[in-house]
Amino acid sequence: MDKHTRLKVAIQKSGRLTEHSLELLTRCGLKFNRGKDQLICHGENMPLDILLVRDDDIPDLVQQDVADLGIVGINVIEEKRLAFEARGIQPLFEVLMRLDQGRCRLSIAVPDDFRYDNPQSLQGKRIATTYPNILGRFLKQHNVQAEIVTLSGAVEIAPRLGRADVICDLVSSGATLTANHLKEVAVILESQAAIIRTPVAVSPEKQDWIHRLMLRMDGIQQVKESKYILLHAPRARLEEIKRLLPGSESPTIIPLEGHPDKVVVHAVCRENVFWETLEGLKAAGASSMLVLPVEKMLN
Ligand code: ATP
Ligand code: ZN
């Protein structure tokens, strides 16, 4: 009974995606108590449980129908998808939504004194990585024969230990590479966190909750930078003022009592509103400007 009604969402137990994932669920309205070392957390106000696991296990849990949804990096999703396909297994997870977090790239990095011109420069080299399938696809696409050295971690020190000539690893700032005398030479996959789900049909109750969660998450992503702006504008310069409002669709225009030549403009701006924008609006005749944060949005 329980299996058919309570939604199971797998997230990373401890790592770069953990805080973001918990915050996202909290912002969706979920209340839960997270005990120390707990592997499962029951939602108190929604039929939803959180499974806290290693990120690499998340696609498998969705594949095995243990979890209905998972929050995990595109890098892990792609690697698993290719691994399953190589074994002739159909991957049973699909990306529902990309999230604005966990951005990084899977790149080829070489020692500072290594000359890299193009993928052919990797011909005959040993490449250390934790992503053998994605790397294998890249090499195949470029017709390069190289030896893939699959490691489970500490890839960046492989060249210094003599285990590989170059590496293929996740990069965000590049500081780790610099510290290890390596330079990034080619990006083979752009990654970010994403929500995956099983394509297998779930009960109508669960389906309804998945739908509601997706709408809420979409709203959360949209309000991130959004501002609500209110201002008075001369009717004659309305078009110019509308053009100056950053990322706003159709603002609401209301007459201003006692001022036939003026209107009140209400607009949701999808980008941050800076002082320069307000100064520009003022120069175009706007006055009484107010910028408010947007807390929730549902479309
Ligand atoms: P686990 O113990 O869960 O297996 P992990 O060591 O594999 O943890 P983390 O280092 O916490 O994982 O990274 C989790 C995810 O965060 C990565 O798979 C990737 O999608 C994303 N990420 C963002 N920036 C980086 C980065 N600079 N290096 C590594 N991962 C990054
Ligand atoms: Zn991992």
pLDDT, tens only, 228-241: 999 999 999 999 99
Query: What is the percent of the chain with per-residue pLDDT over 70, rounded to a whole number?
Result: 99
Q: Which atom of ligand 1 is nearest to the CA of 153?
A: 6
Question: What pLDDT is stored for residue 121 in this prediction?
Answer: 98
pLDDT, tens only, 240-267: 999 999 888 789 999 999 999 999 999 9
Question: What pLDDT is stored for residue 2 in this prediction?
Answer: 59
Ligand 1: lining residues by beta carbon, under 6 Å? 12, 15-17, 54-56, 73, 75-76, 102, 104, 170, 172, 191
The neighbour count for residue 259, using CB atoms within 10 Å, is: 12
Q: Map the chain to HEC letters.
A: CHHHHCEEEEEECCCCCHHHHHHHHHHCCCCECCCCCCCEEEECCCCEEEEEECHHHHHHHHHCCCCCEEEEEHHHHHHHHHHHHHCCCCCCCEEEEECCCCCEEEEEEEECCCCCCCHHHHCCCEEEECCHHHHHHHHHHCCCCCEEEECCCCHHHCCCCCCCCEEEEEECCCHHHHHCCEEEEEEEEEECEEEEECCCCCCHHHHHHHHHHHHHHHHHHHHCCCEEEEEEEEHHHHHHHHHHCCCECCCEEEEECCEEEEEEEEEEECCCCCHHHHHHHHHCCCEEEEEEECCCCCC
CATH architecture for residues 227-293: 2-Layer Sandwich (3.30)
- Kindly tell me the burial class for residue 269, based on how many C-beta atoms sit within 10 Å of its own C-beta (0-12, 13-18, 19 or more): buried
Q: Whose CA is nearest to atom 7 of ligand 1?
A: 55
Confidence of residue 34 (pLDDT cuts 50, 70, 90): confident
Q: What would you measure as the largest C-alpha separation in the chain, in angstroms?
A: 80
Among all bound ligands, the one having the nearest atom to the CA of 76 is 1
Q: Record the tokens describing residue 52, joined without a space.
A: 């806290």
Q: Are 84 and 91 in contact (CB under 8 A)?
A: yes
Which residues, by Cβ under 5 Å, contact ligand 2, an ion? 55-56
Q: Whose CA is nearest to atom 11 of ligand 1?
A: 15
**pLDDT above 80: residue 166:** yes
Whole-number average pLDDT of the chain: 94
Domain coordinates in residue numbering, the chain: 3-100+193-222, 104-191, 227-293
Question: What pLDDT is stored for residue 36 in this prediction?
Answer: 81
The yes-or-no answer to whether 3-100+193-222 and 104-191 have a common fold is yes
37-46: average pLDDT: 92
Most informative mutation of 170, 178, 192 for ligand 1 (most atoms within 8 A of CB): 170
Most informative mutation of 13, 53, 98, 104 for ligand 1 (most atoms within 8 A of CB): 104
Class of the domain covering 104-191: alpha beta
For residue 220, report the distance from its CA to the centre of ligand 1, in Å. Answer: 23
Dist CA 86 CA 229 (whole Å): 52
For residue 46, report the distance from its CA to the centre of ligand 2, in Å. Answer: 28
Q: Which atom of ligand 1 is nearest to the CA of 14?
A: 3
195-209: average pLDDT: 93
Answer whether CATH 3.90.550.10 is correct for domain 3-100+193-222.
no
165-188: average pLDDT: 97
Question: What pLDDT is stored for residue 3 in this prediction?
Answer: 61
For residue 79, report the distance from its CA to the centre of ligand 2, in Å. Answer: 12
96-121: average pLDDT: 96
For residue 55, report the distance from its CA to the centre of ligand 1, in Å. Answer: 8
